Structure 1
Amino acid sequence: MPRRVIAEALGTAILVATVVGSGIMADKLTDDVAVALLGNTLPTGAILVVLITILGPISGAHFNPAVTLVFSLRREIVASAALAYVAAQVAGGVAGTLLAHAMFELPILQFSATARTGTGQWIAEAVAAFGLVFTILAGLRFRSDAIPWLVGLYITAAYWFTASTSFANPAVAIARAFSNTFAGIRPADLPGFVLAELLGAVLALALASWMLSEPKPIQQPRPAE
């Protein structure tokens, strides 16, 4: 368990450091918002492939309380371990934000002023989390070896087709509230994002439980006595 919890904290820290750090770098290099978003997207998708590949065998590479919630509801992780995972993910995410600030010589402790709220943003986060969880569950059902690439590519795409740029992760959302940079989110907007993400994850679990269930064997009629 200690190794699993540390893997979750480390993975989430590196993920958030990549999200925040690449956002800072992109913002420094260009004034074009579209180009900056692309510079934020590609590193995020790429690091997810790396992190899931190397840490998945240790902890399952959740890095996301919504994912941990789903596996807890599937009874694949006990409640105490799930709580430890979530605590590690949130702590690791905040540490990743602070590390990104340190690398770029910015004030370490910040609070975002970037407003991200409204019905469109909440729907986008529910869709982003729904798609992420469904991708994971379908990958486990049909192509478990491809999950690192499936998740990395999904998030890369979701950055661009969701209005919220696909946070899809309560721990990442919380961590990004501590960064008044390109990737930030205003702390007051966190509740809407987190609730939408959890709702999307649970809806994905419900659909996957029905759609991806193992087919039942056909009962052959018993011969007459």
Structure 2
Amino acid sequence: MTQRARKLLGEFLGSAGLAAAVIGSGIMAANLSPDDVGLQLLQNSYATGLALAVLIAVIGPVSGAHFNPVVSLAERVLKPEDRSVHETGLYIVVQIAGCSAGAVLANLMFDLAPVSISTTERADAGRLLAEVVATAGLVSVIFMLVRAGRAAIVAPAVGAYIAAAYYFTSSTSFANPAITVGRMWSDTFAGIAPVSALPFIAAQLLGAGIAVLAVGALAPQSALPTTGKVPQGT
């Protein structure tokens, strides 16, 4: 297998694992605590944060563990020497495919239909603003740490950030276009209706753009050390 094929396989499997963790833990939480939405969210955020940290730590050495199109796009702007435009495009394709496959896997693990289109509408003004904030924060955490020469702590930092952002954002911090697409395919606790997905993705792209500007201003390459490839993801 070529190096590029290994990277793309890593991104696919990691994205699938992330979607399975997000959606599967949401289904389990709803089953375990059917009358307590707050407890459901706690269970979902706890499992997602831990799973994300582990996936980044394990797959980071293979592909950089982006699992997220906005991370790949931000890397292309901030560290263009790391990946070509073509490879970045391939990353985004396999991330979306992986998250969709992970959604199907989560549904099947809980004896649900492989695909059930979500009916949960989320795209009101407050939650779209929350997605801008959540995504800007995620991308900033990643690249500020990388530019500070602290890439080794990106995995736990990202897991902790996403788990916390479940609570301090009204959108519960999707912060990832690929997982947004994947969550359309499960009409369960973590799902999002297709009508809400495109506005969410637009908000995520805006948030990523804000983060790129912030990182460029706060941590220019000339001021801080750089280290290796970008580990990453939600």
TM tier relative to shorter chain: over 0.9
Query: What is the aligned partner in structure 1 of residue 209 from structure 2?
Result: 202
Structure whose alpha-carbon radius of gyration is higher: 1
TM-score normalised to structure 1 length = 0.94
For residue 160 of structure 2, the aligned residue among 148, 153, 156 is 153
Listed one character per residue, the Cα deviations across residues 2-42 of structure 1 (whole Å, up to 9, x for unaligned) are 00001000000000000000000000011200000001000
Matched, 1:63 2:67: yes
Query: What is the aligned partner in structure 1 of residue 193 from structure 2?
Result: 186
Query: What is the aligned partner in structure 2 of residue 123 from structure 1?
Result: 129
CA deviation after TM superposition for structure 1 residue 141, in Å:
1.9
Matched, 1:51 2:55: yes
CA RMSD of aligned residues (A): 1.0
CA deviation after TM superposition for structure 1 residue 215, in Å:
2.8
* Residue ranges of structure 2 left out of the alignment (5+ in a row): 225-234
For 1:33, give the aligned amino acid: V
8 Å Cα contact 1:139/1:150 also seen in 2: no
Listed one character per residue, the Cα deviations across residues 154-192 of structure 1 (whole Å, up to 9, x for unaligned) are 001100000000000000000001110000000011111
Matched, 1:107 2:110: no
For 2:133, give the aligned amino acid: V
For residue 27 of structure 1, the aligned residue among 30, 33, 39 is 30
Listed one character per residue, the Cα deviations across residues 53-83 of structure 1 (whole Å, up to 9, x for unaligned) are 1100111110000001101122132111011
In structure 1, how many angstroms separate the alpha carbons of the residues matched to 2:163 and 2:223?
32
In structure 1, how many angstroms separate the alpha carbons of the residues matched to 2:185 and 2:151?
34
8 Å Cα contact 1:23/1:183 also seen in 2: yes
For 2:41, give the aligned amino acid: L
The 5 A counterparts of 1:206-217 are: 206-213=213-220, 214-215=222-223
* Residue ranges of structure 1 left out of the alignment (5+ in a row): 217-225
Would you say how many aligned residue pairs link Structure 1 and Structure 2? 216
Query: What is the aligned partner in structure 1 of residue 88 from structure 2?
Result: 82
CA deviation after TM superposition for structure 1 residue 134, in Å:
0.2
**Runs of 4+ off more than 2 Å:** none
Listed one character per residue, the Cα deviations across residues 97-147 of structure 1 (whole Å, up to 9, x for unaligned) are 000011000011110000101111110001000000000011102211100
Matched, 1:16 2:19: yes
Q: Between the two proteins, what is the percent identity of the paired residues?
A: 44
In structure 2, how many angstroms separate the alpha carbons of the residues matched to 1:78 and 1:126?
26
Query: What is the aligned partner in structure 2 of residue 4 from structure 1?
Result: 7
